[in-house]
Structure 1
Amino acid sequence: MGSKADRQQRLLLLLSKRQDYVTSDELAEFLGLSQKTIYRLIKKINDEHAAGDLIESEKGRGYKLNYEKYIGQQVAQPNQRSQYSPTERRNRVVEELLLSSPHTKNVYDLFEEYYVGDSVIFSDEQLIAEYLQTYNLTLERKKRTLAVKGKESNIRRAIAELIQMHDIVDINDLKHDQELNFNHYDVLFILDQIKIIEKQLESDIPYPYNVNIFSHLYILISRLRKVGKIPAAELNHLTAKEESELQQDQQLYQVAKAAIANVENYLHDPLPEIEVYYLYQYLTSSRAQRAISKVTKFSPKVAAITQAYLDGMSQRLNIPIKGELIFLDLANHIKPMLNRLEHQIRVKNSLLNQIKMTYDEIFSFVTEVSQDVCQEYKLSPINEDENGFITLYFARIIETNQLPIRTVIMCTTGLGTSELLKVKVEKKFPELEIVDVIASRDSKEFLKKYPDVDLVLSTIQLKEELPLQFLLVSAIFTADDQNRLQKKIEEIYDER
């Protein structure tokens, strides 16, 4: 049950990366859309932006993002249910059904505020039923009522996918977010519980894991408010396997137990032991900041999968990726990730579109390695959110271990303006290592002295081409020169 907003977001992310105008042809080709769709998306984005056009246009040049407006944009949001899109309407209806499961809800009560007829309601029911099947849940219709039936764990997993809070990065923003329509007192209670958990663990629970834990506790409280005691046989007792898992980390077990006890007191209702187990799994599936440095030993499976990622990415990127610190950092992510896969805990990545756009090649390689790893180690499919997080690890490795670009600056005499240009370049682009400033007459000889030079910056056009990257710039090093040099640097890094 996706949203057209994804296409708008991809368009904005693409324009945010381009410093110059982009034609509609280029936008359509890159995004895999028609030109008419591009026009409609741009019009819709501009119409929804309160402070004037977010995307500027110029005849003959194309479209360009007003970056200052983009950073501070406040898109007008619909404030009435009748203004919701069909997808948003269905999402809210199915969320209500899931929260109330297994109780029935009257069809008219579910749809009355959306002002739609019987044919639309019938169509929505079919789509909702198909959606629920992906979670092994069924939609039952009796007379004029609907109800969702299935395992409690699947119901909560489906709710977690629907609750629209995954763009929250700072969890404290939940206190003031009006769009989520959350119970304010429940929000404050859960945020306090997360602080207590962090204090007991002597660790900060970073984004996005703190958001996931918040979501889990909010769903638990919301379910109990809707249906009271949840009538599910799976909640009555723990299996031997689940009992064994709880004993693997006594500290996390006691923390989870204390948090669920606080929820019981808050709701004045006893909860089964399985709720402790559920929260325990969310804690073991997250990363606590101070705990990371303590974990230096891993199971053979975690170690093997971590090494498979390092080897696979090293081969695809054609660079050596090794070292104890790199291994430990990635292994500390892989360990809780495997737990999430086993227990079907999904961590939403609010930066996913931006990661895919910015690090498209790395993301593609990570996806390939993930597929190989899943096949080799019989894992559940690794979704795009997880691949996005892993992509950031390798992007950081590349950017922090990138060798400097050895650069020669060339002008007519090799003096005066060249030295001034050198100072400006070094100040603006520390990733460039200026190995020499030479005169143009030495253009044929300098390669013997500097055979490993990557780039030549020249204030004059050479008659003969050089067998390496070359960029013509002005002696005063204008803003346009700087933009072109930045693109050239990215090109060199991509080639590496």
Structure 2
Amino acid sequence: MTSQIDRMNKLKLLLSKQRDYITAEELACLIETSTKTVYRLVKKINDEFPNGNLVLSEKGRGYKLDYEKYIELDEPAVKQADDISPNQRQDRVMEELLLSSPKALRILDLFGDFYVGDSAISNDEKMISQKIKKFDLKLMRKNRTLAIRGKEENIRHAIAELIQRLNIIDLDEIKSSDEWNFNRYDVLFVSDQLRTIEKQLGGDIPYPYNVNIFSHLYIMISRFRKMNHQISGEKLVVTQLKALDDNPQIRDIAIEIIRNVEAYMSTKLPVSEIYYLYQYLLSSRMKNESDKKQTFSSEVEEITNYFLDEVGKRLKINTKNESIYMDLANHIKPMLNRLENKIRVKNGLLDQIKLTYETIFNFVSDVALEVSEKYRLPKINQDEVGFITLYFARIIETHQLPIQTLIMCTTGVGTSELLKAKVAKKFPELNVIDVIATKNYKKSLEKSPEIELILTTIGIKEALPVNSLVVSAMLTADDQTRIQKKIEDIYNER
């Protein structure tokens, strides 16, 4: 089931990149499956979509996404108990256990609303045990009760990473939406604390770092409320206490926010909460950081340069740019703190990044492994790789050389000149170096070997040695769509 869902998501992402119809055969090749599977996936996508067909089809042309429906697609975060999958049921039970840990909860209370038998419950226990294992947590069963046991720090990390609704929230909508199943008063309070943090730091905390801090504070409040304020917290070691002095401004902000939480909940929180929040703040990035004169540790400088040099070599691009260096270093700096403190920032665009920038993502993944080994860091996860990928995608997008283009028709006059004027206006990415008659194209290619694209108003029977496209001199909307697709193909080939 999971693989089918993955293929469905990949199919939708592939279709979202297409401006025109694409055949089932082409889709099957791209997602490495059969055409019959493509037909089944399209049918299932359309069957599950509530408002007509999400994937349009046309005989002889293939499939196309109804893009307006796609971008408005927003599956409800909370479904009825009789309409949820086993995976969703497991997540809800796991959430309740994590928030209540180490307290044991009755199995009847955990599963009563789902109306499932002992076999399903037993399978859910196995799946939950697997999910929490990587956080060094254990699921304990005793006298028809379940409990998750482990260090408080690990429990917080598991909650932050495993509870999906905390990773997909929109902070602008959460206060007014009833879909998220959040405590409204806690949401308003935590939102106020975020604004306080931003005011003290003198800049906005951008997505997804603001979501991370929101989730951390919301989880902390939920944990203490579930446990009736009985969490004692873990004692800080000497190195952790000393770390609080590394950045007095961040430390004082963390202290202020924790004191505000104590007043809100009428309780006393352990000093470890100050340290946890301090690390989340250090692991975040401010919108105005790039505008300030930054100083970086030698480790940050070395890792930033390593990424720029090694990924640049693989992509064959020039990465010697002060602006790019500063932006990437400003990302690497808090990333190292996230790795050290096991703080994971969910990348909501990860699937699209992997699909859209597959080559760049793979190169960054390879270099990330080298960085982890060379600098003895924890493994850099895919979410982080996705973020770093965007920096190199930006370099390519903003520093692409114009595509050297040749325009030709039967005579080389009139229609070609009209086409040249239209192309120059619509496509600044194309540098039209000449307008010629069809019979002269071989000489032009010999004279200008840098030509990458030929736009012609008449078909050429023999194969051309460069990219070519037959278009109308009127440059219709369909022509423009096909030219844009060809531009993207050439950029990808580079």
Same fold flag (TM > 0.5): yes
- Give the corresponding residue for 1:124: 124
Matched AA of 1:249: N
The match for 1:350 is 348
Output aligned runs, 1:185-196, within 5 Å.
185-196=185-196
1:284 aligns with 2:282: yes
Q: CA RMSD in A?
A: 2.2
TM-fit CA distance, 1:436: 2.6
The total of aligned residue pairs comes to 494
Q: How far 1:406 moved relative to its partner? A: 1.7
- Is contact 2:77–2:180 with CA below 8 Å preserved after alignment? no
39 and 418 in structure 1: CA distance in 2 versus 1, 3 angstrom threshold = closer
Residues 156-209 of structure 1, C-alpha deviations (whole Å, 9 max, x = no match): 111112222356474212213333200011111111110111011111100000
Which amino acid is the alignment partner of residue 345 of structure 1?
I
Percent identity over the alignment? 56
Match of residue 110 from structure 1: 110
Question: Structure 1 residues 3 and 153 mapped into 2: Cα distance closer, same or farther (>3 Å)?
Answer: farther
In structure 1, C-alpha distance between the alignment counterparts of 2:329 and 2:29, rounded to whole Å? 38
2:241 aligns to what? Answer: 243
Change in Cα spacing, 1:117 to 1:465, as seen in structure 2 (3 Å) is closer
Q: TM-score, normalised by structure 1?
A: 0.94
Q: Deviations over 1:456-481 (max 9, x none)?
A: 21212346655433322221122332
Q: Which amino acid letter does the alignment assign opposite residue 11 of structure 1?
A: L
Check the 8 A contact 2:458/2:470 in 1, yes or no: yes
Contact 1:169 1:207 in 2 (8 A): no
CA distance in 2, matches of 1:211, 1:239: 28
The corresponding residue for 1:312 is 310
User: Offset at 1:61?
Assistant: 4.0
Q: Classify 1:56/1:381 alpha carbon distance in 2 versus 1 (closer, same or farther; 3 Å).
A: same
Contact 2:77 2:165 in 1 (8 A): no
The amino acid across from 1:379 in the alignment is L
Whether 1:180 and 2:169 are equivalent positions in the alignment is: no
- Is residue 152–residue 234 contact of structure 2 (8 Å, CA) maintained in 1? no
Show structure 1 runs of 5+ residues with no match.
Answer: none
Whether the aligned pair in 1 keeps the contact of 2:369 and 2:380 (CA below 8 Å) is: yes
Return the alpha-carbon distance in structure 2 between the equivalents of residues 126 and 456 of structure 1.
Answer: 60
In structure 2, what is the Cα distance between the partners aligned to 1:158 and 1:329?
30
**1:228 is aligned with what amino acid?**
N
Cα separation, partners in 2 of 1:4 and 1:165, compared to 1, 3 Å: farther
CA distance in 2, matches of 1:283, 1:183: 23
C-alpha separation in 2, matches of 1:444 and 1:25: 34
User: 1:291-310 residue pairs with structure 2 within 5 A?
Assistant: 291-310=289-308
What is the Cα deviation at residue 148 of structure 1?
Answer: 0.7
Q: Equivalents in 2 of 1:202, 1:77: separation in Å? A: 33
Report the equivalent of 1:55: 55
Contact persistence 2:159–2:219 (CA under 8 A)? yes
The equivalent residue for 1:486 is: 484
**Which residue number corresponds to residue 471 of structure 2?**
473
Matches of 2:466 and 2:457 in 1, distance apart?
Answer: 16
Kindly state the Cα deviation for residue 483 of structure 1 after the two structures are TM-superposed. 2.5
- Taking the TM superposition and a 5 Å limit, the aligned residue runs for 1:20-419 are 20-33=20-33, 37-75=37-75, 79-165=79-165, 168=168, 170-232=170-232, 235-419=233-417
**1:237: Cα distance to partner?**
3.1
Cα separation, partners in 2 of 1:256 and 1:270, compared to 1, 3 Å: same
Task: Go from structure 1 to structure 2 and tell me whether the alpha carbon gap of 1:129 and 1:451 turns closer, same or farther (over 3 Å shift).
Answer: closer
State the alpha-carbon separation in 1 of the partners of residues 142 and 178 from structure 2: 35
**Separation of aligned partners in 1, 2:453 and 2:73:** 39
Query: Given the superposition, is the C-alpha separation of residues 399 and 277 from structure 1 closer, same or farther in structure 2, using an over 3 Å criterion?
Result: same
Structure 1 residues 74 and 206, CA gap change in structure 2 (3 angstroms)? closer
212-221 or 156-165, which deviates more:
156-165
Deviations 1:40-94 (A, max 9, x none): 4433322332321111233454322111222233557763112110000001001
Matches within 5 A, 1:412-491: 412-447=410-445, 449-462=447-460, 466-491=464-489
Aligned-partner Cα distance in 1 for 2:206–2:75: 28
CA contact 1:426–1:432 (8 Å) conserved in 2? yes
**Counterparts of 2:164 and 2:289, CA distance in 1:** 30
CA offset digits 1:277-315 (Å, max 9, x no partner): 111111111111123332532111111111111111111
Which residue in the other structure is 1:14 paired with? Answer: 14
Q: For residues 28 and 443 of structure 1, what CA distance do their matches in structure 2 show?
A: 36
